[in-house]
Amino acid sequence: MTALVALALAVTGCGSTATPAGRPAHTAPAAPDRVEPLEPSPAPVLPVTVSSGDGTPVTVSSADRVVPLTGSLSEIVHTLGLGRQVVARDITATFEQAAQLPVVTRGHDVSAESVLSLRPTLVLAETTTGPAEAIQQIRDAGIPVLVVAPAKSLEDVPKRISAVAAALGVKEAGEQLNQRTAERIAAARTVIPAATGKRPRVAFLYLRGTASVYLLGGSDSGAASLLEAAGAVDTGKDSGLGKDFTPITSEALAAAAPDAILVMSKGLESVGGVDGLVKIPGVAQTPAGMDRRVLTVDDGVLLNYGPRTDQVLTSLITQLYGKAT
């Protein structure tokens, strides 16, 4: 994930959607912040040698003490049914089963000393996990480190699950989880109303009001694939914004002309809710701002692209169109 996305996932919480008087509030019910492990729990078949995303061959002899260094990777391990073997988490793993584990990151930097003190038998990281010196220090201590490419789209979901499952020696469980996840994503999409006109245009905004950070997502933000799967248009991508994020300007928002705005729940909270959001220059002049049409998803799951992506899609679809009848 990008450093920006990592920052967004650092906190999670519940936001709110607001709609003008007389208009139904398309608010998805809050689900418990839990993952759903496979049952029965699989038994790892080890040792295995797998190829790490940074080109390094990794031999894993034990999955007894696993340290995932992103919330998304932690979610995959727990959902594969191996949560009891996870001995630590990074700050973005906030779901219930992981919440009480010791944190081995300072902000978003990995503490090699904290990781090594837990005597891990496998460390899972992403290509953007850092600092690089900390990852190398863990490797130099003889700990297998599997690096996985960050998620950007729905197509990345099965790749990441398969990579983690292979390293844990539970390849069949990975196939089972991939099938379950694909079926649930497909089921979530069946409730999208048949197209009767133009697709809703949605702008993804990254907000951290306390730090005066106001950014508009582009084609590389990670949100485009979700919005397209929900039957919407990502306005940043549609407007030709090729980067992950760019500072919000009135001109950029006017060109995007979103019908709705997608924000992470803590981001919305940081600007004072919808009332504060529409005060950001240019927002009030968009169709979304005039209608106060805001979609929110918890920070900890929005861009994870993992076993709970169907829940994210369900939330987006419900907020966009209302509950299916």
Q: Convert the pLDDT of each residue in 8-26 to its tens digit.
A: 433 333 333 333 333 333 4
For residues 211 and 177, is the Cβ–Cβ distance under 8 A?
no
DSSP code string of 236-273: HHHTT--SSEEE--HHHHHHH--SEEEEEHHHHHHTTH
Residue 80's identity, in one-letter code, is L
pLDDT in tens, 110-152: 999 999 999 999 999 999 899 999 999 999 999 999 999 988 8
Sequential DSSP letters for 147-180: EEPPP-STTHHHHHHHHHHHHHT-HHHHHHHHHH
Beta-ladder partners of 309: none
Is the predicted pLDDT of residue 7 greater than 80, yes or no?
A: no
Task: Tell me the whole-structure pTM to 2 decimals.
Answer: 0.87
DSSP 195: P
Q: pLDDT higher for 94 or 101?
A: 101
Q: Judge whether 80 and 173 are in contact, CB under 8 Å.
A: yes
